[in-house]
């Protein structure tokens, strides 16, 4: 009854902290060296069960990017963003890839994750 069909993944799964919807697999991680305004973030090759928001230009640590926020289809919470376009040549590898904010997802080890209180001014990004 109005149940949303969710893609099920198998393996080392990163899932939504709120509704447990599967979002991505550990093997799809490209980099763990990213940062969001709230702490660590991982770059994924592929994520599932997300809705993509409006595109906007955002100034990141590594330059200007066009990004879209991504939302869990299960509960609508913002779980990260997608890189639509990068303006710096050496950042092009991020295009079409996804960031999941670590504190918004449950990892495959099921461990708790505490972000530090480091604040990043403005946008967020990593791997300069
Ligand atoms: Zn969710």
Please give the distance, rounded to the nearest whole angstrom, from the Cα atom of residue 19 to the centre of ligand 1: 4
And the tokens for 14?
């990163």
- The number of domains in the chain is 1
Domain-located, residue 84: yes
CA distance 37 to 35: 7
Q: 117: CA distance to ligand 1 center in Å?
A: 24
Report helix, strand or coil for 13: strand
| % residues pLDDT > 90 (the chain) | 75
List the beta strands (DSSP E) in the chain. Answer: 13-16, 22-25, 29-36, 39-44, 50-60, 63-72, 78-86, 98-101, 105-106
Distance (angstroms) between ligand 1 centre and the Cα of 69 equals: 14
Condensed to tens digits (0 to 9), the pLDDT of residues 27-46 reads: 999 999 999 888 999 999 99
Q: What are phi and psi of 47, to 5 degrees?
A: -130, 160
Q: Ligand 1 center to residue 31 CA distance, Å?
A: 23
- HSE value, Cβ hemisphere, 13 Å, CA-based, for 91: 20
Ligand 1 geometric centre to CA of 3 (Å) = 13
Q: What is the residue range of 37's domain? A: 13-106
Instruction: Confirm whether 90 is domain-assigned.
Output: yes
* Residue 112: inside a domain: no
How far, in Å, from the CA of 89 to the mean position of ligand 1?
A: 34
Residue 26 is classified by DSSP as G
- At residue 123, the pLDDT reads 56
pTM over 0.85: no
The pLDDT assigned to 117 comes to 39
Q: Is residue 42 part of a domain?
A: yes
């Amino acid at each position: 009854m109005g149940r949303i069909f969710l893609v099920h993944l198998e393996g080392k799964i990163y899932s939504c902290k709120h509704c447990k919807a599967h979002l991505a697999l550990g093997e799809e991680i490209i980099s763990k060296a990213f940062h969001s305004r709230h702490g660590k973030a991982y770059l994924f090759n592929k994520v599932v069960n997300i809705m993509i928001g409006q595109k906007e230009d955002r100034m990141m640590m590594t330059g200007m990017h066009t990004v879209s926020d991504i939302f869990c289809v299960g509960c609508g919470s913002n779980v990260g963003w997608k890189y639509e376009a990068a303006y710096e040549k050496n950042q092009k590898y991020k295009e079409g890839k996804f960031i999941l904010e670590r504190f918004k997802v449950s990892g495959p080890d099921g461990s708790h994750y505490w972000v530090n209180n480091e604040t990043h001014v403005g946008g967020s990004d990593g791997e300069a």
